Amino acid sequence: MTPNSPNEPDVMTAQEVSDFLKIPLSTLYGLAKQGRIKGVKVGKHWRYLRHDILDYLHGKTNPDPDSNERRFYPRINCEIPTEFHIRLSRRQISAQGVIFTLSEYGAYFQDGPISFQVQVDDPVEVTFEVGDRKIFAQGRIIHFAAGVGIKFKGLSAADREAIRDYIG
């Protein structure tokens, strides 16, 4: 399969993309699920546009705040004191800690004991200050290990702007 052949279909199956990229199907599905390779699930089957695969190979990606991929947008390493609340069905977990990585779409919060009590997709509330602005953000947990990765949801335009100004 040559990438510039006019006889190639614009829509590719997962197997065709896997063969073209010379990667296992499981790797392809992981990249698609992370939003790194654009694809769409039709019923039980994944389909990909040829130009999106070529864009991926050339390092071209479109910023997508709804993607789980954290590196699409500017972020900064920092140490911002933070109040952190996780609302679970039967209880609320609260802690104070530090945001170590911040972008306008999410943050990485570190407090070791909390990560043992949470799950991906748990709703969260985070309160922190950037500059002289106090920010109250709601969102969801997207990953956890030694800390908790948070994806903000419904952040106001003014709060996003304050974070962008802080990041620089």
Q: Buried b / exposed e across 110-120, counting CB within 10 Å, b at 16+? A: beeebbeebee
Each residue's pLDDT tens digit, 131-149: 888 998 888 888 776 678 8
Helix or strand holding residue 80 (H, E): strand 75-87
Bridge partners for 107 per DSSP: 102, 150
Indicate whether 30 pLDDT > 70: yes
Q: Give the C-alpha separation, 106 to 65, whole Å.
A: 9
Q: What is the model's pTM?
A: 0.53
Each residue's pLDDT tens digit, 51-95: 889 988 887 655 454 444 444 456 777 888 887 777 666 677 777
% pLDDT > 90, the chain? 11
Question: How far from 38 is each of 10, 19, 31, 49, 102, CA to CA, in Å?
Answer: 13, 17, 8, 8, 25
| CATH code linked to domain 75-167 | 2.40.10.220
